[in-house]
Amino acid sequence: MVNKEEFRKKIIITAGQIFSRFGFRKTTMDEIAKALKMGKSSIYYYFQSKEDIFEAVVLYEANVLRNELTTAIKSVESPVGKMEKYVFVRMKAFEKLSNYYNAIFDKNLDHFDFIEKIREKYDREEIAILRLLLYDGVRKKVFTVANSEYTALAIQTTLKGLEVPLFWKKKEVNIDQRLHAILDVLFKGILIK
Protein backbone atom coordinates (compact mmCIF):
# COMPACT_ATOMS: atom_id res chain seq x y z
CA MET A 1 0.00 0.00 0.00
CA VAL A 2 1.28 3.38 -0.93
CA ASN A 3 0.08 5.03 2.17
CA LYS A 4 -2.11 4.37 5.14
CA GLU A 5 -4.33 7.35 4.47
CA GLU A 6 -4.78 6.19 0.90
CA PHE A 7 -6.06 2.86 2.05
CA ARG A 8 -8.38 4.37 4.61
CA LYS A 9 -10.00 6.22 1.76
CA LYS A 10 -10.39 3.02 -0.19
CA ILE A 11 -12.11 1.47 2.79
CA ILE A 12 -14.38 4.47 3.13
CA ILE A 13 -15.46 4.28 -0.48
CA THR A 14 -16.02 0.55 -0.48
CA ALA A 15 -17.81 0.56 2.84
CA GLY A 16 -19.87 3.50 1.65
CA GLN A 17 -21.19 1.50 -1.27
CA ILE A 18 -22.30 -1.29 1.00
CA PHE A 19 -23.70 0.98 3.68
CA SER A 20 -25.69 2.91 1.13
CA ARG A 21 -27.20 -0.29 -0.13
CA PHE A 22 -28.01 -2.07 3.11
CA GLY A 23 -27.71 0.53 5.83
CA PHE A 24 -25.54 0.49 8.89
CA ARG A 25 -27.18 -2.36 10.68
CA LYS A 26 -27.41 -4.85 7.86
CA THR A 27 -23.86 -4.26 6.73
CA THR A 28 -21.33 -6.56 8.33
CA MET A 29 -17.62 -6.07 8.79
CA ASP A 30 -17.11 -9.34 6.97
CA GLU A 31 -18.83 -7.98 3.90
CA ILE A 32 -16.73 -4.87 3.88
CA ALA A 33 -13.62 -6.98 4.35
CA LYS A 34 -14.57 -9.36 1.59
CA ALA A 35 -15.27 -6.50 -0.78
CA LEU A 36 -11.77 -5.26 -0.03
CA LYS A 37 -10.33 -8.72 -0.40
CA MET A 38 -8.85 -8.72 3.04
CA GLY A 39 -9.37 -10.29 6.45
CA LYS A 40 -11.94 -8.77 8.73
CA SER A 41 -9.41 -8.10 11.44
CA SER A 42 -7.18 -6.16 9.08
CA ILE A 43 -9.76 -3.44 8.82
CA TYR A 44 -9.29 -2.75 12.49
CA TYR A 45 -5.78 -1.72 11.71
CA TYR A 46 -7.24 1.28 9.89
CA PHE A 47 -10.38 1.99 11.86
CA GLN A 48 -11.29 1.57 15.48
CA SER A 49 -14.81 0.32 14.94
CA LYS A 50 -17.66 -0.11 12.53
CA GLU A 51 -19.17 3.11 13.76
CA ASP A 52 -15.94 4.92 13.05
CA ILE A 53 -16.04 3.73 9.48
CA PHE A 54 -19.62 4.83 9.22
CA GLU A 55 -18.77 8.26 10.53
CA ALA A 56 -15.93 8.57 8.04
CA VAL A 57 -18.26 7.51 5.24
CA VAL A 58 -20.88 10.07 6.15
CA LEU A 59 -18.26 12.79 6.42
CA TYR A 60 -16.83 11.81 3.07
CA GLU A 61 -20.23 11.60 1.45
CA ALA A 62 -21.18 15.00 2.79
CA ASN A 63 -18.09 16.43 1.17
CA VAL A 64 -18.87 14.78 -2.12
CA LEU A 65 -22.35 16.22 -2.02
CA ARG A 66 -21.03 19.67 -1.27
CA ASN A 67 -18.72 19.49 -4.28
CA GLU A 68 -21.42 18.17 -6.55
CA LEU A 69 -23.70 20.98 -5.55
CA THR A 70 -21.19 23.76 -6.06
CA THR A 71 -20.10 22.45 -9.46
CA ALA A 72 -23.74 21.95 -10.37
CA ILE A 73 -24.68 25.58 -9.82
CA LYS A 74 -21.55 26.73 -11.57
CA SER A 75 -22.45 24.70 -14.64
CA VAL A 76 -25.44 26.88 -15.45
CA GLU A 77 -25.72 30.60 -16.04
CA SER A 78 -29.30 31.65 -15.50
CA PRO A 79 -30.64 32.03 -11.96
CA VAL A 80 -33.59 29.79 -12.78
CA GLY A 81 -31.22 27.18 -14.18
CA LYS A 82 -28.98 27.36 -11.15
CA MET A 83 -31.88 26.96 -8.79
CA GLU A 84 -33.27 24.05 -10.76
CA LYS A 85 -29.94 22.33 -11.00
CA TYR A 86 -29.27 22.78 -7.32
CA VAL A 87 -32.61 21.33 -6.29
CA PHE A 88 -32.31 18.38 -8.65
CA VAL A 89 -28.81 17.44 -7.65
CA ARG A 90 -29.70 17.78 -4.01
CA MET A 91 -32.73 15.54 -4.24
CA LYS A 92 -30.91 12.99 -6.34
CA ALA A 93 -28.21 12.82 -3.70
CA PHE A 94 -30.70 12.39 -0.90
CA GLU A 95 -32.39 9.62 -2.78
CA LYS A 96 -29.10 7.79 -2.78
CA LEU A 97 -28.47 8.60 0.83
CA SER A 98 -31.88 7.49 2.03
CA ASN A 99 -30.53 4.09 2.90
CA TYR A 100 -28.07 5.55 5.35
CA TYR A 101 -30.94 7.20 7.12
CA ASN A 102 -33.07 4.13 7.08
CA ALA A 103 -30.22 2.47 8.83
CA ILE A 104 -30.07 5.14 11.45
CA PHE A 105 -33.73 5.25 12.25
CA ASP A 106 -33.43 1.53 12.53
CA LYS A 107 -32.88 1.04 16.21
CA ASN A 108 -31.24 2.52 19.23
CA LEU A 109 -28.81 4.64 17.27
CA ASP A 110 -28.54 7.40 19.85
CA HIS A 111 -24.77 7.45 19.66
CA PHE A 112 -24.82 8.87 16.17
CA ASP A 113 -25.04 12.45 17.32
CA PHE A 114 -22.35 13.37 14.84
CA ILE A 115 -24.98 13.01 12.16
CA GLU A 116 -26.96 15.72 13.85
CA LYS A 117 -23.87 17.91 13.86
CA ILE A 118 -23.28 17.36 10.17
CA ARG A 119 -26.85 18.00 9.35
CA GLU A 120 -26.85 21.29 11.23
CA LYS A 121 -23.70 22.42 9.52
CA TYR A 122 -25.02 21.35 6.18
CA ASP A 123 -28.30 23.14 6.80
CA ARG A 124 -26.50 26.38 7.45
CA GLU A 125 -24.45 25.95 4.30
CA GLU A 126 -27.56 25.22 2.30
CA ILE A 127 -29.27 28.35 3.51
CA ALA A 128 -26.21 30.31 2.51
CA ILE A 129 -26.18 28.83 -0.97
CA LEU A 130 -29.88 29.31 -1.48
CA ARG A 131 -29.64 32.88 -0.32
CA LEU A 132 -26.80 33.42 -2.75
CA LEU A 133 -28.79 31.93 -5.60
CA LEU A 134 -31.75 34.11 -4.71
CA TYR A 135 -29.62 37.19 -4.34
CA ASP A 136 -27.98 36.54 -7.68
CA GLY A 137 -31.38 36.14 -9.27
CA VAL A 138 -32.54 39.41 -7.79
CA ARG A 139 -29.43 41.21 -8.96
CA LYS A 140 -30.03 39.93 -12.47
CA LYS A 141 -33.62 41.05 -12.20
CA VAL A 142 -35.07 37.58 -12.59
CA PHE A 143 -36.32 37.01 -9.07
CA THR A 144 -38.18 39.30 -6.80
CA VAL A 145 -37.69 38.46 -3.19
CA ALA A 146 -38.61 40.55 -0.21
CA ASN A 147 -36.26 38.92 2.24
CA SER A 148 -33.76 36.43 0.83
CA GLU A 149 -33.05 34.98 4.27
CA TYR A 150 -36.65 34.05 4.89
CA THR A 151 -37.21 32.88 1.34
CA ALA A 152 -34.14 30.67 1.50
CA LEU A 153 -35.50 29.19 4.68
CA ALA A 154 -38.87 28.58 3.04
CA ILE A 155 -37.28 26.79 0.11
CA GLN A 156 -35.18 24.66 2.38
CA THR A 157 -38.24 23.69 4.37
CA THR A 158 -39.93 22.60 1.17
CA LEU A 159 -36.94 20.53 0.16
CA LYS A 160 -36.91 18.87 3.54
CA GLY A 161 -40.56 18.10 3.07
CA LEU A 162 -39.63 16.27 -0.11
CA GLU A 163 -37.13 14.17 1.76
CA VAL A 164 -39.68 12.63 4.03
CA PRO A 165 -41.27 10.16 1.62
CA LEU A 166 -37.77 9.05 0.64
CA PHE A 167 -37.09 7.84 4.13
CA TRP A 168 -40.56 6.59 4.63
CA LYS A 169 -40.91 3.87 2.07
CA LYS A 170 -38.66 2.84 -0.75
CA LYS A 171 -41.78 2.34 -2.86
CA GLU A 172 -42.38 4.11 -6.12
CA VAL A 173 -41.27 7.68 -5.70
CA ASN A 174 -42.91 10.24 -7.93
CA ILE A 175 -40.32 12.68 -6.66
CA ASP A 176 -39.44 13.93 -10.11
CA GLN A 177 -43.00 14.88 -10.81
CA ARG A 178 -43.49 16.61 -7.50
CA LEU A 179 -40.16 18.31 -7.87
CA HIS A 180 -41.21 19.85 -11.14
CA ALA A 181 -44.48 20.98 -9.67
CA ILE A 182 -42.79 22.58 -6.71
CA LEU A 183 -40.20 24.32 -8.83
CA ASP A 184 -42.99 25.57 -11.02
CA VAL A 185 -44.88 26.99 -8.09
CA LEU A 186 -41.71 28.42 -6.65
CA PHE A 187 -40.79 30.27 -9.82
CA LYS A 188 -44.26 31.47 -10.62
CA GLY A 189 -44.45 32.95 -7.19
CA ILE A 190 -40.99 34.36 -7.41
CA LEU A 191 -40.45 35.54 -10.95
CA ILE A 192 -40.97 39.11 -11.95
CA LYS A 193 -44.09 39.25 -14.04
Which residues are at the interface with a copy of itself (CB under 8 A)? Answer: 17, 21-22, 26, 170-171
169 or 188: whose CB is closer to a copy of itself?
Answer: 169
Least distance from DNA to the Cβ atom of residue 193, Å? 57
The angle that helices 79-104 and 4-26 make with each other, rounded to 10 degrees, is 70
Least distance from a copy of itself to the Cβ atom of residue 14, Å? 11
Least distance from a copy of itself to the Cβ atom of residue 6, Å? 21
Residue 193 binding partner per list DNA, a copy of itself, none, with a CB distance cut-off of 5 to 8 Å that depends on partner kind: none
DSSP track, 4-24:
HHHHHHHHHHHHHHHHHHHHH
Least distance from a copy of itself to the Cβ atom of residue 33, Å? 15
Residue 22 binding partner per list a copy of itself, DNA, none, with a CB distance cut-off of 5 to 8 Å that depends on partner kind: a copy of itself
Cα separation, 142 vs 126, in Å, equals: 21
The residues binding DNA (CB under 7 A) are 1, 4, 7, 25, 27-30, 37-42, 44-46, 48-51, 107
Burial string for 66-93 (b: 16+ CB within 10 Å, else e) reads eeebeebbeeeeebbebbbbbbbbbbbb
Cα separation, 172 vs 94, in Å, equals: 15
